[in-house]
Homo-oligomer: A and B are copies of this chain.
Amino acid sequence: MNASLLTALNRIVGSRWVRHRPAELVTYAMDGLPTHESLPGVVVIPETPAQVREVVRLLHLLQVPFVARGAGTGLSGGALADPDTVLIALTRLNKILSVDPVQRRAVLQPGVVNARLSEAALPLGLHYVPDPSSQAACTVGGNVAENAGGPHCLKYGVTTNHIVALEVVLPDGSVTRLGSLQGEAWGPDLVGLFVGSEGMFGIATEITVRLERIPESVRTMLADFSTVRGASEAVSAIIAAGIVPAALEMMDRACVAAVEASIYAAGYPTDAAAVLLVELDGQTDAVEAEAATVREILSDRGAREVRSASSPADRARLWQGRKKAFGAMGRIAPDLAVQDAVVPRSALPDIMDEIEKIRRLHDLTISNVFHAGDGNLHPNISFDRRDPAVAARVRLACREIMAACVAAGGSITGEHGVGNDKLDYMSWIFNAETLGAMRAVRRAFDPSEMANPGKVVPVHACREWSVVKSLRQ
Contacts and interface: CB of A to CB of B under 8 A. Distances in A.
A6 to B, nearest CB: 11
A184 B54 CA distance: 32
Nearest to A2: B4
Nearest to A57: B54
A10 to B, nearest CB: 9
Contacts of A63: 4, 7-8
A29 interface: no
A172 to B, nearest CB: 8
A361 interface: no
Contacts of A439: none
Interface size class of A (residues with CB under 8 A): 10 to 19
Contact of A62 (B7, B57, B60): B7
B60 A61 contact: no
Contact of A8 (B7, B11, B54, B61): B61
Contact of A4 (B11, B57, B62): B62
Interface string A45-66: 0000000001001101111000
A54 B54 CA distance: 10
Contacts of A7: 61-63
A12 interface: yes
A65 to B, nearest CB: 13
Most buried by B among A4, A7, A12, A60: A4
A152 to B, nearest CB: 44
Contacts of A57: 54
A50 to B, nearest CB: 11
A11 to B, nearest CB: 5
A4 B61 CA distance: 8
Contacts of A11: 60-61
Nearest to A5: B62
Contacts of A62: 4, 7-8
A12 B4 CA distance: 19
Contacts of A60: 11
A61 B4 CA distance: 8
A63 B62 CA distance: 14
Contacts of A58: 58, 61
Interface string A70-107: 00000000000000000000000000000000000000
A11 B57 CA distance: 10
Nearest to A9: B61
Interface string A1-31: 0001001100110000000000000000000
Nearest to A59: B8
Contacts of A4: 62-63
A92 B255 CA distance: 69
A7 to B, nearest CB: 6
A173 to B, nearest CB: 9
Nearest to A172: B11
A149 to B, nearest CB: 38
Nearest to A64: B4
Contacts of A61: 7-8, 11-12, 58
A88 to B, nearest CB: 15
Nearest to A54: B57
A122 B58 CA distance: 44
A106 B4 CA distance: 41
Contacts of A12: 61
A252 B61 CA distance: 55
Given A8-B61, A8-B63, A58-B61, 6 more contacts: A4-B62, A4-B63, A7-B61, A11-B60, A54-B57, A58-B58
| 7 pairs of A and B residues whose beta carbons are closest in the complex | A8-B61, A4-B62, A11-B61, A8-B62, A58-B61, A7-B63, A12-B61
